[in-house]
Structures are given as C-alpha cells and as structure tokens.
Amino acid sequence: MRRVFKVTSWLPDLVVCAGIVLGVVILLAPRAVGLDVTYTAGEFPESDLKSVSAPWFLLPMIGLVIMWGALRASTHAEAIAHRLRDPFGALTLTLSGITIELVLVIAVMMTGRNADTVARDTMFATLMMILNGLVGVALVAGAIKRREQAFNQQSSGAYLSMIAALCTIGLVLPRFTTSEPGGYMSDSMEVFVAGASLAVYIAFIALQSSAHRDFFVMVRPVARESRVHSGTRVSTSVLRRTILLICSLVCVILLADSLGDLLVNALRQSFLPVALQGVVIALLILLPEGITAIRSALGSDLQRTINILHGSALSTIGLTIPAVLIVGRLIGTNAELGLEAPEITLLTATILVSTIQFGQGRTNLMHGLVHVMLFMLWIALLTDSGIESVSAPAAALP
C-alpha cells in the first residue's frame, strides 16, 4: 500500500515533466505538434508580426499544462512556506507566482501587435481579481463559517499604502503626463518609475522580514490549529520541494512563448477585446494562490490570507512595472502603462474601500459582499462596448 501511495504521489509531477518535454519539442521542432509560425514584415521594424497556425486543441492544451504547472509550483512553494513560517512563507508563495506572471507577460510582449498594453492589462486584471474577487470570496467564505475574523491591521495598512502609492505612479500618473501621448511615459519618467518601484518594494520586503516582522503575524490558538490542518502536509525535505518547484517553473517558462503567440492570434481572429489577454494571464497566475488564500480563510487564518493576497498585489506592481520597462527597452517595445478613465475610477474605488474595511482589524460578511460587487463591476466593464471600443483602435494600428 505504501508503494502505491509513493507512486501515485509522483503522478502530478510527471505531468509537469511531460509539460517540459512538450515545451522543448515546441521550441526545437514546432511543426512536430502542428505549430507553424511565420513573420510578416511591417512598415517599421517594431511592427513586425507573428502569424500563427496551429491545431484547435493546442491552445487549450498548453493553457491547461501551464495552469497545472502553476498549481504544482504553488503546492511546492506552500510546502516550503510551512517550514519557513510567515512572513517568509507567504513571501515564497508570492515570489513563485510573480515569476510566472513576468514570464507570461514578457512572452506576450514579444508577439508584436497589441504588445504595448499587455503588461497594463495583466496588472490591472490581477489587481481586480486579487483585491476584489479573491479577497471578496475569502471574506465571504470566512464569514459564513465564523461570522467575524480578526487580523493584524498593521499588515493591511502597510500593504494598502504601498499598493496605492505604486499604482498611482505606475498606472495612473502616466495617463496624465504631457511628455508623451496616451498612457506612455518619457524615457526619464520610465527610469524614475522603474527605479522607485523596485527600490520601495525591496525596502518593504527588507522591513517585512526584519524590523517589522511582527506586523504580518497574528498568533492565536485557532490560527495555529488551522495552519496544521488546512495547509499542505509537509512530509518531504525542503530540497526535494525546491527541485520540484524549479521544475514547475521551467515547465511554465518553456510553454509561455507558445501561449503568447497562440493567445494573441486567437483574440485577433475572434475580434475580442485586447484586454482579455491580461485576464487570461491573470487567471493562470492567480488560481493556485487563490486556492491557498481561500483555504486559509476557511481555516480561520485570515492573517495568512491577507499576507498572500495583498502581498501578491504588491508584488504585481512593485516587480512587474520595472521588469516590463526594462525588457521593453531591450526588445524595442514601449509599454503603455496608463489606465483609461473607467479603470482609474474602479481602481480608486477599490483601494479606498479596501483601506476603510481593512482598517478596522475585523472583517465580516458585508465587507466581502462589497468586494464581490466591485469585482462584478469590473466584469461588466470588460464586456461594456465603451471599453472594447477603446481597445479597438489599438488593434488597427500597423
């Protein structure tokens, strides 16, 4: 019986290994799986486009394998996190997720058309899914089980103030600067935004893991008990988990470029809003972290839920913005980070509501329902004709 258990415990990671093999095959011999990529020269070098033809099943198959790789990466990161304890544990989960996000965003950026807005769309979609969708569901789930849950409000105050500041300089301010049209930034402004975002994030992580570590920990008997029973059981060494985590990330990295090509091509052929590419990437990224966060809320460990979700939102801004600006310069792509007016309004409302509700030290069902309502409003904006018409001209550019 033990042998059977040992064999079946390896099956999920065998799927990851199969994904690595698939990624290598696509990289070296794409036509072996029916993938044919041709390049169309544009009027300018930066307008060169990839034309992709592939079997209908290839995009969903790659998407599912990437999602599984992200899920396994989260599982191994969570197992390592239980050994490290918070805030280092939540930080491990966050960094593994942000690594996957950066790989997918950069892969889509290198596809050509509509690449300028993919980072903005992905970051905004990630923020809405985390701050409204996952936070709302976690609060509702926790309230149904225990009515009210307490947490260390110093942690939420630190997270939300950082998120508000970085969102302002990275996603809002570029829409109002006059040095460049639209949501673009001048070279000097890009250097400042990238440097400031990275420096402030590093300083925050340094303080979180040292002087202000107690801000992000809430020791209660119920929380300790839930950590034991609701988390992933750690029965293997940290070294083995680390190796499996690296394998899962390699699986995602190898398949990311193909996903970017196929996703952009599918949206172009279906005449769907460009912003949906960011939504798809955000879904692939957040599924593992969302499961862990909701599980912690159900286990009455709301502090861990906050550390995971708010920490992920902060990492999305603090690391993605500098990475995207640097990579954009290297590949000759200018990233448009400035949000449109409806998105700025929704982001402002989200941060304002979050600041008010998480400033009380306790949450209840009403708090969760408000966040769910804001999340549904974002879904409505995605399907609204005004949002689609904003993206339509971008798709018509050469």
Residues 52, 257: Cα–Cα separation, whole Å: 12
Q: Is 285 within 8 Å of 126 (Cβ atoms)?
A: yes
For tokens 């030290």, what's the residue? 361
Stretch (H or E) spanning 73: helix 58-84
Q: Which of the 8 DSSP states describes residue 168?
A: I
- Most confidently modeled of 46-60, 197-211, 341-355? 341-355
Assess whether pLDDT exceeds 70 at residue 56: yes
Question: Tokens for 191?
Answer: 């250097």
- pLDDT score recorded for residue 4: 45
Residues 123/372/284/269 CA torsion (nearest 10 deg): -80
- pLDDT score recorded for residue 216: 64
Residues 243, 341: Cα–Cα separation, whole Å: 44
Q: Which of the 8 DSSP states describes residue 201?
A: H
Q: Which amino acid type is present at position 4?
A: V
- pLDDT score recorded for residue 350: 94
Sequence-ordered alpha helix ranges (H) in 271-335: 276-298, 302-331
**Model confidence pLDDT, tens digit, residues 220-249:** 544 444 444 444 444 457 788 888 888 888
Q: Which of the 8 DSSP states describes residue 180?
A: S
The neighbouring-strand residues paired with 149 are 363
Assess whether pLDDT exceeds 50 at residue 396: no
Q: What does the buried/exposed string (b/e) look like for 113-144 if buried means 16 or more CB atoms within 10 Å of the residue's CB?
A: bbbbbbbbbbbbbbbbbbbbbbbbbbbbbbbe
Q: Which residue has the higher pLDDT, 78 or 13?
A: 13
Q: Is 19 within 8 Å of 68 (Cβ atoms)?
A: yes
Nearest residue to 251 (alpha-carbon basis) of 32, 74, 69 = 69
- pLDDT score recorded for residue 330: 82
Measured in whole angstroms, how far is the alpha carbon of residue 42 from the centre of its chain? Answer: 32
Nearest residue to 134 (alpha-carbon basis) of 382, 273, 305, 319 = 305
- pLDDT score recorded for residue 347: 94
**Model confidence pLDDT, tens digit, residues 265-307:** 776 777 666 667 667 777 777 777 787 788 888 877 787 888 8
Q: Is 319 within 8 Å of 98 (Cβ atoms)?
A: yes
* pLDDT > 90: percent of the chain: 11
Nearest residue to 292 (alpha-carbon basis) of 66, 160, 134 = 134
- pLDDT score recorded for residue 165: 92
Which CA distances in Å does 35 have to 18, 30, 32, 355? 18, 5, 7, 47
- 85-89, 121-125, 257-261, 335-339: range with lowest mean pLDDT: 85-89
For tokens 């992200």, what's the residue? 70
- pLDDT score recorded for residue 348: 95
Stretch (H or E) spanning 113: none
Nearest residue to 96 (alpha-carbon basis) of 88, 377, 46 = 88
- pLDDT score recorded for residue 352: 94
C-beta atoms surrounding 92 within 10 Å: 22
Mean pLDDT of 324-347: 86
Assess whether pLDDT exceeds 90 at residue 349: yes
- pLDDT score recorded for residue 171: 92
Stretch (H or E) spanning 104: helix 88-109
Mean pLDDT of 18-38: 81
- Most confidently modeled of 214-218, 245-249, 255-259, 348-352? 348-352
**Model confidence pLDDT, tens digit, residues 136-166:** 988 888 888 777 887 777 878 888 999 999 9
Residues 168/173/176/181 CA torsion (nearest 10 deg): -140
Q: Which residue has the higher pLDDT, 351 or 311?
A: 351
Residues 227, 142: Cα–Cα separation, whole Å: 15
Assess whether pLDDT exceeds 70 at residue 393: no
Angle between helices 88-109 and 302-331 in degrees, nearest 10? 30
| Collapsed DSSP state (helix, strand, coil) of residue 36 | strand
The phi, psi pair for 206, rounded to 5°, reads -65, -45
The residues near 133 (Cβ < 8 Å, ≥ 6 apart) are 290, 371, 372, 375
* pLDDT > 70: percent of the chain: 74
Q: What are the domain boundaries of the chain? A: 12-36+58-390
| Collapsed DSSP state (helix, strand, coil) of residue 295 | helix
C-beta atoms surrounding 232 within 10 Å: 17
Assess whether pLDDT exceeds 50 at residue 397: no
Residues 358, 367: Cα–Cα separation, whole Å: 9
Question: What end-to-end distance do the CA atoms of the chain give, in Å?
Answer: 62
Q: Is 346 within 8 Å of 378 (Cβ atoms)?
A: yes
- pLDDT score recorded for residue 374: 94
Average pLDDT along the chain: 76
**Model confidence pLDDT, tens digit, residues 68-118:** 887 887 777 777 766 766 556 666 666 776 777 777 777 666 655 556 777
CATH 2.60.40.650 fits 12-36+58-390, yes or no: no
